Amino acid sequence: MAQVLEFKLPDLGEGLTEAEIVRWLVSVGDVVAVDQPVVEVETAKAMVEVPCPYGGVVTARYGEEGTELPVGAPLLTVAVGASAPADAPTAAHPAPEPAASPAPAPSPASAPASDETSGNVLVGYGTGAPAARRRRVRRAPMSGSAAAPAPAREPLNGAAGAVAVVSPLVRRLAREHGVDLRELAGSGRDGLILRCDVEQAISQGATQAAPAAPAPAAASAPAPATIRTPSPAPAPVRATPSARPGVTRVPLRGVRGAVADKLSRSRREIPDATCWVDADATELMAARTAMNAAGGAKISLLALFARICTAALARHPELNSTVDLAAREIVRLPEVHLGFAAQTDRGLVVPVVRDAHARSAESLSAEFARLTEAGRAGTLTPGELTGGTFTLNNYGVFGVDGSTPIINHPEAAMLGIGRIVPKPWVYEGELAVRQVVQLSLTFDHRVCDGGTAGGFLRYVADCVEQPAVLLRTL
């Protein structure tokens, strides 16, 4: 006899309390294996696939694509030990009402210990069992009624041809609004289609639409096969119009909500201060050009600043620390896990390069490139977005010289890098045109005073102006 088990949205770690369903990977009636990914969700930190700890037949799914669920809410139910899917309900998306719910399902801890179940519900962690091939099981028709054919799953946009789209969110947005990605010209690098491209196409489509609404079809006229029937619970709209004309309300959730919460906490808890200095980066730029001309892996400018930062933190360890409010202690950290601010279609993210102090310039360049690409694709894991001890913020890419950033809580400092531009500069007693950059350090005044912060920033500036200074500390 089949046992129906309920699988709930697991704790995804790092304090995450909710997730949004991006794409279902299984349908009602599908047979799933232990630890097979069943749904793709977007958290405030990353896009992840959630594996189901049970093996059996999917009998129900809870939530449409675009629905936001709290941790602990039901995701789906699985009939374990079922030989046929006759036990499955006919609704593909039943409402989670108490009256319609199956008998209370045992928790994973009390589930039978067999090959059809696993106690693992953490994302990315499984038993190592071989993944079974998905198959669709046809449901036997009920007596006295015709069996309705299962609706075909909607293919991904651009399945008929190559489409320059990386982000699953962009694909979903296009799918929800009926935008054919193959007809769009991407504004991103190498023709990459970005969210703004899809939103522009949606706006143009709304403007060009006929003002007169079509007359309602007769009750006996069947809908064309190419028209998708809207689901009873559509995905929530991210931006909703306000009662006041021209005003739009955007919910603070997902990445934007997580950023808002973290920055607000930083402002509440950290008494920050900022100091800055202009530096002549001509020699640093020349050194990078010479390194890249020698062959081998290319060295990024951000990697050189990272090497300078780790050397500066070795001289001023106070800035590689955090504050334990409960114990009223400053906790100085031995490793440098270097975060760097990256702007993506999903918003601002801060990937972390682990053990940056032990990496070469080549290794740092490769890791920065890998994490940046993962951030643009929305595939960064929660572990790659947490645990930083110091942050680099290269706001010069936005064409600005200076900034007073908010510290990435619970870190103690952040180095800001402005744009590098030709400016008049007194060099060796004469006025010359040099490549000048403004550097800023925002620091937690609880962990050190201005003398330490100034010493750190001055050392960074000296290494920028004379890269040979860095060689003396290696």
Please, what is the Cα angle at 40 between 191 and 258, to 5 degrees? 80
Neighbouring CB atoms inside 10 A of 71's CB total 14
Alpha-helical regions (H) of 335-471: 361-377, 450-465, 468-471
Which residue in 144, 173, 136 sits closest to 157, CA to CA?
173
Q: Residue 445 catalytic?
A: yes
β-strand partners of 42: 20, 47
What is the 3 state secondary structure string of 130-155? CCCCCEECCCCCCCCCCCCCCCCCCC
E strand map for 62-204: 68-70, 74-80, 135-136
Within 10 angstroms of residue 9's Cβ, the number of other Cβ atoms is 22
Distance of alpha carbon 113 from alpha carbon 285, whole angstroms:
62
Lookup: tokens for 119: 């106690």
Name the catalytic one among 93, 177, 337, 445: 445
Q: How far is CA 231 from CA 63, 228, 235, 266, 362, in A?
A: 11, 9, 9, 41, 51
**Tell me, what amino acid is at 27?**
S
What is the bridge-based pairing of β-strands 30-32 and 135-136? antiparallel
Beta bridge partners, 61, equal 76
Q: Which residue has the tokens 């070795």?
A: 314
Question: Tokens 């890419």, residue?
Answer: 397
Active site amino acids = 445
